[in-house]
Structure 1
């Protein structure tokens, strides 16, 4: 806990400054106080937690699973074949040049208000860090160790599972930690532009009612969800990389 003491103190100071500033300005429909947001969150807890949170959570989980599977498979394929790398790597980079907020309405047009329009937005955002990080990890394999294993009679399968994967795992987890935070953003953007349920949808609905505290309430849950997913990934990373000496 001492490790994060400074962060906790800074957050408390910022919240206190926000509370005092919002009370001085006294325009709750524009700048609600943190206590007002928490009160609104408590008042809306049943609707947010049991209707809108599951909708957002399903989008995040499905989008992340698809991104992990496709991202890892494509990274392995590009590492295996230089031709595939030259064909796909520029396309992966180009996919991030398209503003998500601009292309998301197209997915809503194609798939309607179903879950899949939001899932595709989430995949579009989270696919990139997983693929690139895993690919860089596979390429960082120690060539001297690879040559040593070959001289000792190791097969390509042995090199892949005993050398390439351990080398790529730290990079994969780095990309995944970025992806889990982006997944919350992707789900919220998708719901904001077209949905019938979800935390992003609820925030947009509160905005049309000029309820600033209601806009912030689902944002608090989204932030907590992102932190929770990040902690889960860190936990998996520590358990699967016990061999790696870290500070």
Structure 2
């Protein structure tokens, strides 16, 4: 905790200086609120409009968590299949990479046409955003397993399943958590994008309505909550990683 406090004050100071300069510039140059509201105005709007966007926030959190869990499950499953089955890896890994070259903002309208405006297309969008970093990170973790340890276990009579379960999975956990942390932040972005394209509630809907009515302060409130949610999801995965990988830090 002491180390966190010692390192954490620097970005806080930078943020305070940035907000101070922003506030001063808004007052000094008399910038209209509809163009660039001051931080104090954004904070005031965030407090006063809480009843208006509370349900939007809950909807986005729920959608992000559901999409992330499904995307993480699919990403881990894909990584295991690609690692264990050579034919599958050679046949599908290039296609998986190509699939990420399709912009989600282009694919999303097609998903709405195919599956309607319900929950399914939104979950698919978040899953597509989340699964790839997890699959690639886990696959790299499997590949980076110490070859000497693999040879040692083979000499000891371990079969492929035992090597995978007792050596390759633990060795891949640090890389897997790196992918999970990236996808945790992407899940919020994916949820907001899916809400832009068709939803009744959510931060993306709130942001769209605020933008169309030139309520820039509300747009910044929505942006702030997207950033906070992404940071909270990232921190949660990092906390779980620290708890589960204590054996690795103690071993070092």
Fold match by TM threshold 0.5: yes
> Shift of residue 155 of structure 1?
2.5
> Shift of residue 113 of structure 1?
2.2
Residues 22 and 192 of structure 1: CA distance in aligned 2, closer, same or farther (over 3 Å): farther
Q: Secondary structure at the match of 1:160?
A: helix
Distance 2:30 2:110 in 1: 40
TM-score (norm 1): 0.95
> Shift of residue 122 of structure 1?
1.0
The answer to whether the aligner puts 1:65 opposite 2:54 as a matched pair is no
The answer to whether the aligner puts 1:206 opposite 2:173 as a matched pair is no
> Shift of residue 143 of structure 1?
1.2
- Aligned mate of 1:122, from 123, 126, 129: 126
> Shift of residue 233 of structure 1?
0.3
Which contiguous aligned blocks of 4+ residues in structure 1 show a shift greater than 3 angstroms? none
Distance 2:114 2:59 in 1: 20
Contact 1:56–1:198 (8 Å) recurs in 2: yes
Alignment match, 2:31: 26
Report the count of equivalent residues: 246
The answer to whether the aligner puts 1:154 opposite 2:158 as a matched pair is yes
Distance 1:87 1:196 in 2: 40
Structure 1 gap ranges (5+) = none
Alignment match, 2:43: 38
Structure 1 stretch 131-140 or stretch 148-157: which is displaced more? Answer: 148-157
Distance 2:80 2:118 in 1: 32
> Shift of residue 110 of structure 1?
2.1
Alignment match, 2:200: 196
- Aligned mate of 2:190, from 162, 186, 191: 186
Alignment match, 1:240: 244
Contact 1:113–1:196 (8 Å) recurs in 2: no
- Aligned mate of 2:145, from 141, 146, 163: 141
CA RMSD, aligned part only?
1.4
CA shift digits 1:3-34 (9 cap, x unpaired): 11111111111111111222224211010111
The answer to whether the aligner puts 1:230 opposite 2:225 as a matched pair is no
Q: Secondary structure at the match of 1:244?
A: helix
TM-score (norm 2): 0.94
> Shift of residue 109 of structure 1?
2.0
Contact 1:54–1:198 (8 Å) recurs in 2: yes
Structure 2 gap ranges (5+) = none
Distance 1:41 1:112 in 2: 32
Distance 1:200 1:222 in 2: 9
> Shift of residue 47 of structure 1?
2.5
- Aligned mate of 1:95, from 76, 99, 116: 99
